[in-house]
Structure 1
Amino acid sequence: MMTDNPASSHNPSLHDQAVRAPSVYTIGPAHSFVDALARSLLDQYGDQPLALGAIQILLPNRRSARSLREAFLRNHGGRPMLLPRMLAIGDVDEDALDITAPASDLIDLRPAISDTDRLFYLTRLCLQIPENHGRPGSMAAALKLARDLARLIDSVHTERLDFSRLKELVPEKLAHHWQNTLKFLEVITDQWPRLLDHLGQCDPAERRNGLLAALTQKWQTHPPRGLVIAAGSTGSIPATADLLALVARLPKGCVILPGFDRSLDDDLWQALDPGHPQFLMKALLDHMRVSRHEVENWPLVKADQALESQRADRLLLINSALLPAKQVDRWNAISIDHQTAKKGLERIDCDGLSEEAGVIALLLREALDHPEKRAALVTPDRALARQVRAHLARWDIAIDDSAGDPAERSLSGSFLRLTLSFAADPGPINLLALLKHPLAAAGMKPSALRQLARRLDRHESREGSALRGPRPEASIDGMEKAAADAGVDEADLGLLNKIFALLRPLESVLHSPSLAVGDLLSCHLDVAQNLAQSHDQSGADRLWRGEAGEHLAQYLAKARAGIDCLGATRGKDYPAFFHALITDQMVRPRYGMHPRLAILGPIEARLHHVDLMILGGLNEGTWPANPGHDPWASRAMRKDFGLPDPDQRIGQSAHDLVQAMGAPHIILTRSGKVDGTPSVPSRWLSRLEALAPYLDGRKSPMVRLYQALDQPDKIEPIDAPRPMPPLSARPRSLSVTQVELWVRDPYALYARHILKLRPLEDLEAEPGALHKGTIWHQALDDYKRRAIPTWSRDEAYKALIECGKTAFGPLLERPSIWAFWWPRFQTMGRRFLEIEEERRDSHETIATEIRGEWPIHEGPWPFTLKARADRLDRERASGHIEIIDYKTGSPPQKRRIEAGFAPQLPLEGVMVNEGAFNGLLPCAVAGLSFWQLRGTRDPIEIKHVAGHDEQISASRAGFLSLLARFSKPHTPYLSNPRPANTGYGDYDHLARTAEWTRLPDLDDLPMDFNGHEPIKED
């Protein structure tokens, strides 16, 4: 250790330092890096508080600095102490580095441009690209492209490259394509440097390089007198590598590498590829001009030294599994004690992501049953991390997730998005989502808006539904009109109009052809604050509260300050722009998380262990992640330019895996399917399984325990429901269509007419068969009421088309309705008029959409049968009436009519015989006809019911028999008694049909409507 080196009596020169032997150490993966380092320093300096405080420790980032601080306190029993000075060289800060004279006169660093300003300036430059050179089509696309360009700029500065060299990378076959790319990249090669010069600023990566170079230069001439330790860095940034090379040769300096493998032989060392976990450290040592044999083990305390032998076989197993592909033949010569290697090492394979998350949550929860035990999930899979947090919520456990949560999914972020979504696309779904949001108040109590949303959602009246069914016009005016037309209560309509008044300014600006982006953002935030204001709190106080609200407030304030440089855009492009603006903002909780549990990314977990480390999401493409494709250059071009090989990311991920594998207890998990798609195990898992077949993970008892967690102890089958309401509650009036429901599914009639439960239409439902039937019926009814016998064919068709347009109404503006329903209606209309001409001499229409009621006194109690016939035509010769039913779907089959499952037309025949229709005397029935309106190749097909007199007579008797059966108090309303004949209904979920589905005994059932045995469909 470097503590024994005496302080030099003079400041050594650069030459003196260059010839000094480097001090490079390593702490192996068997140890928690930060804990081992803290214990060793406490062991040597624990009784010298001032000496410990004089040490400078250079760490990769702020997270690792925080981990080391916690390690010192943890290993010091939580007692106060003077900590070493810790500097995060990856997140470099000028004040922290303390670059003072005489070094300051050697550098002239401009301030770094803020990330937000850089993003907006690059976006503006992208929007100025000529169309023929790839200008993005919208400001949102330009913003996304600007982020990609910013990453490219940082990569080039990090590697200390010169953009001018891009012009030399012109493969002959790609010369034309590359010239176009170069023309596009002029944004960052020519325009961006000029803009930075004008602003007097520089890129953050360039400034970081400058600060590190300044510190390196200062320490070359004026080395620090105290101990300097560079710990945990792999030197992936060249400027950092330069500093590490200097620190290794300082009089009192040393470098400690994380997890350097000293056991590799020279042949294997030379064969390392970018995907190997040791490749980055090999590159670092080459850069530092340090031989691998000069790297020594860091002096550890005795307790830590014992861990080396305890986990040697496990680490040998993982290191052997990760050998380069060309070296796997060495497996045959490797001697591993698998009994020792598998101690504390498990693998769990799950069926899907949800099961994997549940198993991990169960493992974390189990760890809390052991006092002082710490556990962590280490994964790069954000979906898995979110699901684990959700599963832990069942035990009220809030767990720290180092990656944080997307700000757009927070309470404030979601409210901003919902406000914008409704203003941009007013519709029932967006309205209900906005009204139900906890922040929505509109100057009232928040509960008032949620109650309003519930009333509007369930509202139904004779005029229609307020929000359900086909979507109204996509505007606030359209929504207001739809609510008024649906007969919404006046008080609710007033509240709704108050809310709409707050939202209209945002809707107005979103329809602007051109408006400054800053004005759009200001209007958006003002409207959101006004809508968030409650009866006792301002909108700003409610909208920007909490960690996420504070983060968004600060971020959007910075954005508003610099966004004016973007100029104007179309209002309709703003929603996509706002989403792109906040999509990468993450919120990390500051407090309130569990002290012994955590979710960490592989980078955050690199330098410390906990008692139980669960390495989750070990699927190919997740861990390791796919290197992806560089949108700017091929791999060969990146190499020629000097950018690192993309496979280095795989090597870094492999190093993170090896570091984690040294923890006391390791569990490797993966899911066989992700989003229903089969997944491939991580290459590392496959290699481990090849070396250690016992790591198959398919028989873990923890999976069975998780599956049993929500499994009931006993499942008792239920019988089909047999409700027998009192006679006083049973219906005394039904329509003929409801009688058909009664025959098909008595339980549905019970739910609808006795329990008063009605199925709701879908929100923003696409017009379906029911709407089509209603529209066509209305159009034909309107035409028949207006038709004049003396009209010519053209006049009649014109009138029919006008009736059709009125019946279709706003639906005709929908492309699908215009393209499919309307042409078929026109075709049907032509054939309809031809049939009318053919029937003119033999029939006359005496009524359409006529209502009737038949009071029945033959049963146990008075009952009224109702009907509305589509059309009644009188035969001129006989005076008898033909009953016509329009069908836009398929008419019932003959056998179903005969069996009594489709009694509508026969019962209407009974009512004609009884003179039950308004204004008509009792009359004989000439026929029962279904007119199938298709509008296709055969536009109208007329089907007559054979033996209509017999059907009418049988229906009358069957209906009276049905009344008699259900007048008995013990007759049950069975659910779907004959599903093979009648299908399924809207109330099957209420009857819990799936739990008891079976064919009941016929003795338990009423006979078919007409007394026939059940029939089978063809």
Structure 2
Amino acid sequence: MTRLFPDQEGPRLFGLPLGCDPTQALYDGLRSRLEGQPPEAAARVRIYLNTRRAARALEAAFVAGGAALLPQVRVLEDLEADVPLLVDLPSPPDPLHRMLDMSQLVARLLDLEPDLAPQSARFDLAESIALFQDELGGEAVPLSRLETLDVGHQSGHWQRSLTFLKILAGSDDGDEAGTDPSGQNRQRRLVEALGRIWAEEPPDTPILIAGSTGSRGATARFMEIVANLPQGAVILPGVDMQQGPDQWQAIDGEQDHPQFGFARLGRRLGVDMAALPAFGPVASPVPDRAALLSLSLRPAPVTEQWMRDGPAHADALDASLSGVTLVEADTARLEAGAIACRMRAAAEDGRSAALITPDRVLARRVAAMLDRWQIVPDDSAGRPLSLTPPGLLLRELAALAGRRLTPNALLPILGSPLVGGLRDARRRHLVLSRRLDLSFLRGGPPFIDGAALRAWAESPKARMEEAPAWAAHLAASLDPLAGDAQLNVGGHAARLRVAAEALSRGAEPGPDAVVSLWDKAAGARAAEVLRKLEEAGDRGAPMSAGDFDVLLNRLLSAQDVRDEAFETHPLLSIWGTLEARVGTAEVMILGGLNEGVWPGSTSVDPWMNRDMRRQLDLPLPERRIGLAAHDFQQAANAPEVVLTRSVREAEAPSVAARWLVRLGNLVDGIDRIAVADGRAGAWSHMDDLRARGRVWTDLAAAVDRPLAEVPAAPRPAPCPPRAARPDKLSATRIQALIRDPYSIYARYVLNLRAVAPPGKEPDALERGTTLHEVLEKCVAAFENEPPEVEVDRFRRIAAETLEEIVPWPAVRRIWKSRLDRIAPWFVATEAERRADGKVLIQEVWGRWAVSGLSAPFTLEARVDRIDLLADGSLAIFDYKTGTPPSDAQVRQFDKQLYLEALIAQAGGFDTLAATPVGRLEYIGLGGTGSLRRLDASPDEIETHRADLVRLLTAYQDPAQPYPARTRPHKITYDSDYDQLSRRGEWDDGDDPVEVPL
């Protein structure tokens, strides 16, 4: 018989001090207690650990210790393997099936109470109910306790929540807290069954539980059973061994305190935590720091003890904080850079370093920055399945299902590395995808379908004989996703799989085609998610494609995948706070120490508020903060610690973690008392910590700084030769020549065009084009009938035209409303215009060879409308969807109407002879409509002609530069060529620098 402990009355509880390596301490304690016993004694010891990582670490410690038999290392989650078969427990339901079944009930509730939440939230609410039921089972709270809750003083929301939970409780068979055979319910039933067996026949071998804080009710009950076994013991990690009885009593009830769980467990077992023995000869690496942190973390009601106990730490502050560095970076990027530099420095010194953070964004940033030096850390979490190539492709396809296909939705699918087949097929797929993008999708229709894809493939733009087959395959692959039919979850998953596999095989699969989509760990995990969804079949109510998209994103985001393709650095690791409980490194970096990150924000229970949870004796939201505080306290007691945070997050100031604030306030207070007592000079230990941190932020900033100073580009003013300068411009481009000559140079000299975005957007240009077409048809159909008849005709034509050419339903309604509003005004003013003359032409191009120049130059313009007035002169109208330009703008920049007048007077419009112009007018379509008439006198028109000749003469001179942004309309004006001119390196106030070409 193996014996590790002498006989004693009552439970057997041990602690591992803060900051020690829990795995090594457990191994050393076991070896010392097994010393002198036969080799097989170790094999009889059974140890329950909280995670598989902890189990692997302990086994590795035994292997490293030399040849010996290993103890039986188990994980608390696998407790069912130790329960004899005579315990009758039904099989646990599949978590997905459980959530889908619960979501049906929640959906019915939301139908009756739509103000509670949108239907898309039913999966979140279903999962929260499952967690709540799980918590009830783990804490041994019978469902009948719901009937005892007093909610008379609560709001209607909480009363409805309780009513719904009672309905769910009534649907279970029985009144026990453990009727649900899953999760913590099942774990507690296993624990109680094992406890009954051991009570009748206690095991004659040592049984230990180590590494668990007992935060879950079922685990705490198991710890109680094991602690009372003859050779049983519970070993608590990260116990503050320096707290006295008063401190332990003070934290009882303070759920946000790091040692609260241990205090509650000690009270439950009747153990004096102040006299808790250590498991073996082990102590905190830096006892002075452990005592300082313990004092800083005392509950708020007793922080007056800082004044009493703080001065005693003054002489030990140097020793306490000598291994601590505080990094307060200006930005999250700089924080990640400082961490990466510190980890690289540790690796170069041959020391191990671990980043501990609950912030996965920070972890990925650090990994990306280490990749600059080809360093791959061992990241325990990997990355979410939703961010892997298979997960991204499935998300894109699920988001597309049930919706009209847009270029913006199609392009990410075509660009996925898992689409298009392998080798040559993949290469041809990429070529065709690029041609489709540039020749059809860019600036093309906002919505596309299979017919449009096939039509493009048959056109000369495709330029590849494989294009028709490729386009047909693409259309056929996406067809299963068309339509927003209400399907069960299995139907949605099946059609998603069909589409994804077809796209992955490519258009030329051949007999040996493979689906690369499901390769590697991420692909296998994604295939498993789809398989489970398909197996769920008709569980849950039929749902729309949008609801299935929400469900799939939840499932993909909930799983992490580690990429085993790269060899990781043996000394560098990235851990979550859970992994940090079982390991240590020579340099421990605690990252993301901001409120809302570490500690995270307290989650809101949609079913139980704080008062209701207190009545049921359930943990309060602060319990999670207490667990996070324990992780911080344990890791911060390592010999060398780097504490990091960013001062700003997402352009807003951040708030330091409460533990950093407490530590800083305590240390500053101790320093001030020491100075007042004459025991120290004017010195701040916190400033010392920050100074050490600035070493790493300065280094991170230096890494990003270029090796050589790159001078900023000057404001460009190119001078191309006369032959390269444009000899033709439209009237609208004359304004650009005045305001931003560089844009004319880039477009007409360099022949550069801005690449249009994928698909059309309902922007100002599209709105203007559409409204012009509506007005053209309305003016042509005007018959000078009674106003109400003309208004009805106007609105009918507008509705028909918008229905024909505007593909966005919401935008169509907005634009129609705008036209309906101005219809009476436009009809009334149109009648006045018809009384003055008649319509001659609409939307016609005209040209004029400008005279008086040293070289030929043609001015072009597309006129909105020209009328013939009663006196034989012409009236030129221009429609403005916004506000017409002011007199000053017309005089200096917006000369379009005057330039059109010059073309008309020169006979530049094919169907019109040279005729004087007697009226120039803007028809403003904004608001309720407005008119703005310009001075159309011959002298004014001649003035604008002279201005045009002077402008064009200047730019026909080879010495005249094309400076950038000479007179932009607004400071916020953006040009398509700002990047080319390297704007940002120069300001609008800088002098242009001429560049002869």
Stretches of structure 1 that go unaligned for 5 or more consecutive residues are: 7-16, 460-464, 1007-1018
Structure 1 residues 853-864: aligned runs within 5 Å: 853-855=847-849, 859-864=853-858
**Deviation at 1:221?**
4.6
**Deviation at 1:533?**
1.3
Cα pair distance change 1:581/1:21, threshold 3 Å = closer
Q: Is the 8 A contact 1:423 1:504 kept in 2?
A: no
Structure 1: which amino acid aligns with 2:744?
A: L
Q: Please list the CA deviations of residues 594-639 of structure 1 after superposition, one character each: whole Å capped at 9, or x if unmatched.
A: 3322222222212321111111222223322344343333334323
**Deviation at 1:341?**
0.5
1:997 paired with 2:976, answer no
Q: Which residue of 2 aligns with 1:286?
A: 267
Task: Give the whole-Å Cα distance in 2 for the aligned partners of 1:994 and 1:650.
Answer: 45
Task: Give the whole-Å Cα distance in 1 for the aligned partners of 2:244 and 2:158.
Answer: 43
Task: Give the whole-Å Cα distance in 2 for the aligned partners of 1:321 and 1:137.
Answer: 42
Q: Please list the CA deviations of residues 966-1011 of structure 1 after superposition, one character each: whole Å capped at 9, or x if unmatched.
A: 34434322212334799653322321232222446699899xxxxx
Root mean square deviation of aligned Cα: 3.8
1:614 paired with 2:589, answer yes
1:295 paired with 2:284, answer no
Q: Which residue of 1 aligns with 2:776?
A: 781
1:415 paired with 2:393, answer yes
Which residue of 479, 489, 499 maps to 1:517?
489
Three-state SS of the structure 1 residue aligned to 2:984 is helix
Structure 1 residues 58-77: aligned runs within 5 Å: 58-73=48-63, 75-76=64-65
Q: Is the 8 A contact 1:845 1:874 kept in 2?
A: yes
Structure 1: which amino acid aligns with 2:922?
A: W
Three-state SS of the structure 1 residue aligned to 2:713 is coil
Structure 1 residues 39-438: aligned runs within 5 Å: 39-42=28-31, 50-73=40-63, 75-76=64-65, 82-89=69-76, 91-95=77-81, 97=82, 99-100=83-84, 105=86, 107-127=87-107, 132=112, 140-174=120-154, 180-186=160-166, 188-193=168-173, 202-272=181-251, 273-292=254-273, 295-300=276-281, 308=284, 311-334=286-309, 335-336=312-313, 337-371=316-350, 373-425=351-403, 426-438=405-417
Structure 1 residues 485-504: aligned runs within 5 Å: 489=462, 495-504=470-479
1:598 paired with 2:608, answer no
Cα pair distance change 1:522/1:380, threshold 3 Å = same
Structure 2: which amino acid aligns with 1:643?
A: L
Task: Give the whole-Å Cα distance in 2 for the aligned partners of 1:839 and 1:857.
Answer: 33
Residues 803-812 or 282-291, more deviating = 803-812
Stretches of structure 2 that go unaligned for 5 or more consecutive residues are: 669-684
Q: Which residue of 1 aligns with 2:543?
A: 569
**Deviation at 1:541?**
2.9
Q: Is the 8 A contact 1:931 1:941 kept in 2?
A: yes
Cα pair distance change 1:956/1:163, threshold 3 Å = same
**Deviation at 1:342?**
0.7
1:986 paired with 2:976, answer yes
- Identical counterparts, % of pairs: 31
Task: Give the whole-Å Cα distance in 2 for the aligned partners of 1:872 and 1:486.
Answer: 38
Structure 1 residues 715-754: aligned runs within 5 Å: 715-754=710-749
Task: Give the whole-Å Cα distance in 1 for the aligned partners of 2:912 and 2:110.
Answer: 77
Q: Is the 8 A contact 2:110 2:119 kept in 1?
A: no
Structure 1: which amino acid aligns with 2:848?
A: W
Structure 1 residues 552-701: aligned runs within 5 Å: 552-571=526-545, 573-589=547-563, 592=566, 593-693=568-668, 694-695=685-686, 699=691, 700-701=694-695
Cα pair distance change 1:957/1:141, threshold 3 Å = closer
Which residue of 530, 548, 553 maps to 2:502?
530
Cα pair distance change 1:778/1:589, threshold 3 Å = closer
Residues 109-118 or 121-130, more deviating = 121-130
Q: Please list the CA deviations of residues 906-932 of structure 1 after superposition, one character each: whole Å capped at 9, or x if unmatched.
A: 3333333332221333333334x1223
Three-state SS of the structure 2 residue aligned to 1:259 is strand
Three-state SS of the structure 1 residue aligned to 2:933 is strand
Q: Please list the CA deviations of residues 23-74 of structure 1 after superposition, one character each: whole Å capped at 9, or x if unmatched.
A: 433221131111222244456769975444443222122232123233444x
**Deviation at 1:529?**
1.2
Structure 1 residues 719-868: aligned runs within 5 Å: 719-763=714-758, 766-785=761-780, 793=787, 796-797=790-791, 799-810=793-804, 814=808, 817=811, 820-840=814-834, 842-855=836-849, 859-868=853-862
Task: Give the whole-Å Cα distance in 1 for the aligned partners of 2:599 and 2:11.
Answer: 34
Q: Is the 8 A contact 2:722 2:958 kept in 1?
A: yes
Q: Is the 8 A contact 1:378 1:602 kept in 2?
A: yes
Cα pair distance change 1:136/1:498, threshold 3 Å = farther
Task: Give the whole-Å Cα distance in 1 for the aligned partners of 2:104 and 2:174.
Answer: 14
Q: Is the 8 A contact 1:978 1:999 kept in 2?
A: no
Q: Please list the CA deviations of residues 761-814 of structure 1 after superposition, one character each: whole Å capped at 9, or x if unmatched.
A: 4446652332333223323333444556x7565665555445434543446675
Residues 521-530 or 165-174, more deviating = 165-174
1:541 paired with 2:515, answer yes
Three-state SS of the structure 2 residue aligned to 1:723 is strand
Residues 401-410 or 821-830, more deviating = 821-830
1:706 paired with 2:700, answer yes
Q: How many residues align?
A: 961
Q: Is the 8 A contact 2:212 2:236 kept in 1?
A: yes
Residues 43-52 or 438-447, more deviating = 43-52
Q: Is the 8 A contact 1:111 1:201 kept in 2?
A: no
Task: Give the whole-Å Cα distance in 1 for the aligned partners of 2:198 and 2:599.
Answer: 38
Q: Which residue of 1 aligns with 2:864?
A: 870
**Deviation at 1:687?**
1.0
**Deviation at 1:299?**
2.3
Cα pair distance change 1:820/1:226, threshold 3 Å = closer
Q: Which residue of 2 aligns with 1:908?
A: 900
Q: Given the two structures, how large is their TM-score scaled by the length of structure 2? A: 0.87
1:893 paired with 2:886, answer yes
**Deviation at 1:416?**
0.8
Cα pair distance change 1:282/1:574, threshold 3 Å = closer
1:37 paired with 2:26, answer yes
**Deviation at 1:322?**
0.9
Q: Is the 8 A contact 1:906 1:955 kept in 2?
A: yes
**Deviation at 1:87?**
1.1
Cα pair distance change 1:810/1:429, threshold 3 Å = farther
Task: Give the whole-Å Cα distance in 2 for the aligned partners of 1:204 and 1:339.
Answer: 48
Three-state SS of the structure 1 residue aligned to 2:354 is strand
Q: Is the 8 A contact 2:719 2:995 kept in 1?
A: no
Structure 1: which amino acid aligns with 2:293?
A: I
Three-state SS of the structure 2 residue aligned to 1:991 is coil
Structure 2: which amino acid aligns with 1:719?
A: P
Cα pair distance change 1:168/1:797, threshold 3 Å = closer
Task: Give the whole-Å Cα distance in 2 for the aligned partners of 1:1001 and 1:644.
Answer: 67
Three-state SS of the structure 2 residue aligned to 1:604 is helix
**Deviation at 1:249?**
4.8
**Deviation at 1:576?**
2.8
Cα pair distance change 1:673/1:981, threshold 3 Å = closer
Task: Give the whole-Å Cα distance in 2 for the aligned partners of 1:254 and 1:800.
Answer: 88
**Deviation at 1:130?**
9.2
Task: Give the whole-Å Cα distance in 2 for the aligned partners of 1:505 and 1:357.
Answer: 44
Structure 2: which amino acid aligns with 1:520?
A: H
Task: Give the whole-Å Cα distance in 2 for the aligned partners of 1:145 and 1:1002.
Answer: 61
Task: Give the whole-Å Cα distance in 2 for the aligned partners of 1:981 and 1:254.
Answer: 76
Task: Give the whole-Å Cα distance in 2 for the aligned partners of 1:328 and 1:539.
Answer: 69
Which residue of 906, 924, 935 maps to 1:933?
924
Q: Given the two structures, how large is their TM-score scaled by the length of structure 1? A: 0.86
Q: Please list the CA deviations of residues 834-893 of structure 1 after superposition, one character each: whole Å capped at 9, or x if unmatched.
A: 44443445433332223222345764443332222223333433x333333333333443
